Amino acid sequence: MPRTMLDPLFTAVDAPAFTESHLARLATGTLAAVRVPGFLTPEQCQAATTAFDRMPTAGYDPLRVPTSILHVGPSLNDYRTLANTLDTSRYWKDADAARSAWHRARMQPDPITVALARLGDAWGTAVTPATIGGRCVFGGTLREMNEGALVHYDEASREYPAGLFDQTVIAQLAFNLWAQAPVMGGATTVWRHRWEPADEQHREAYGYRREAVEGCQHVTLTPRPGDALLFNPANFHAVDPNPGERRIAFALFLAITSTGQLINWS
Ligand SMILES: [Fe+2]
């Protein structure tokens, strides 16, 4: 009798391309993660890094995110008010500025456009931006994160319980695409654990202390430059620090909606 029983379906798989089955199994929570190695070529990775170094980057609110993470493009969670609504006055201004900077960077091809096209092919319908009052939100931040990320989860339907988008989200997926990846550190871990009220005793800054996931089944992935990764971010996840090396990745969320569409945002 094994000391710990494991869920045989909660695994990380490598695949040549994302498929409809991957998306469905991630959405239902049976599969842990899917990685597509070499999603971008080395030349595309270098172009993205060069573009990142030229674009105006911003940090996150140090009270919310105590580690340094430089990014291009706003994430909805940075504009969440204490009442769990979106601070639209700041958000739309920053979203418009990020779109302009992105166009000026002229990444050819644009890795986000490529990624959304391939994910849409997998699902069978085009991936469209999530909208708020008919207005498209920003999708596809580019971030440099070298100090890791705390254990946390992302779930828009909990973060904005009154709803945020015009679309109704059924399941949310996280997509990451690495332009630069460290040789040491920077691994992503996904635990087979979704938020429960008792987790709040382990609260720390924007996330949770490791005790929240102690003993939980998990997968750990060490990305290489050019790799793409999909997982269900309602599962607690974290990123190890990678001191002395750069970890630069595109990041966006996808959701399957109540009408079976795929939408995206950051
Ligand atoms: Fe996350």
Two tokens, residue 142: 């580019």
Q: How far is the CA of 227 from the centre of ligand 1 (A)?
A: 17
Residue 216 has what pLDDT? 96
Averaged over 68-73, what is the pLDDT?
Answer: 79
Q: How far are the Cα atoms of 23, 132, 160 from residue 11, in angstroms, in the given order?
A: 14, 35, 29
Using DSSP's 3-state secondary structure scheme, residue 7 falls into coil
Which residues, including other chains, have CB under 8 Å from residue 98's CB and lie 6 or more apart?
Answer: 72, 73, 74, 138, 141
Distance 140 CA to ligand 1 centre (A): 14
Cα dihedral across residues 41, 70, 15, 120: positive or negative: negative
Q: State the chain's mean pLDDT as an integer.
A: 92
- Please, are residues 124 and 262 in contact by the beta-carbon 8 Å criterion? no
Amino acid code (one letter) for 26 = L
Distance 1 CA to ligand 1 centre (A): 35
Cis peptide leading into 109, omega within 30 of 0? Answer: yes
Ligand 1 centroid to residue 43 C-alpha, Å = 27
**Residue 260 clears pLDDT 90, i.e. is over it:** yes
- What separation in Å is there between the alpha carbon of 2 and the centre of ligand 1? 31
The topology (CATH level 3) of 12-265 is Jelly Rolls (2.60.120)
Question: How much distance in Å is there from the Cα of 131 to the middle of ligand 1?
Answer: 21
Ligand 1 midpoint to CA 3 (Å): 30
Q: What is the pLDDT of residue 108?
A: 83
Question: What does R_g of the chain's alpha carbons equal in angstroms?
Answer: 18
**CA 238–ligand 1 middle distance (angstroms):** 7
Å from CA of 252 to ligand 1 middle = 10
The CA distance from 167 to 234, in Å, is 19
Query: What CA–CA distance (Å, rounded) separates 24 from 2?
Result: 30
Handedness of CA 113, 107, 243, 208 (dihedral sign): negative
Q: What is the structure's pLDDT at 187?
A: 94
Question: Measured in angstroms, how far is the CA atom of residue 154 from the centroid of ligand 1?
Answer: 5
Q: Which of 260, 84, 95 lies closest to 157 in space, CA to CA?
A: 84
Cα–ligand 1 centroid distance for 56 (angstroms): 22
pLDDT exceeds cutoff 60 at 2: no
The three-state secondary structure class of 97 is helix
* Cα-to-centroid distance, 14 and ligand 1 (Å): 20
Q: Summarize pLDDT for 166-209 with one digit per residue, the tens.
A: 999 999 999 999 999 998 899 999 999 999 999 999 999 889 99
pLDDT at residue 1, as a whole number = 47
Whether 232 has a pLDDT exceeding 80, the answer reads yes
For residue 10, report the phi and psi dihedrals to the nearest 5 degrees: -85, 80
Which residues are CB-neighbours of 219 under 8 A, at least 6 positions away? 10, 11, 12, 32, 33, 189, 190
Q: Percent of the chain, pLDDT > 90?
A: 76
Distance 264 CA to ligand 1 centre (A): 15
* Distance between start and end Cα atoms, the chain: 44
User: When comparing pLDDT for 242 and 115, which is higher?
Assistant: 115
Output the CA 236–ligand 1 centroid distance in Å.
8
pLDDT at 68: 67
Q: Which of 188, 227, 235, 236 is nearest to 208 (CA)?
A: 236
The pLDDT tens digits for 6-55 are 999 999 999 999 999 999 999 999 999 999 999 999 999 999 999 888 88
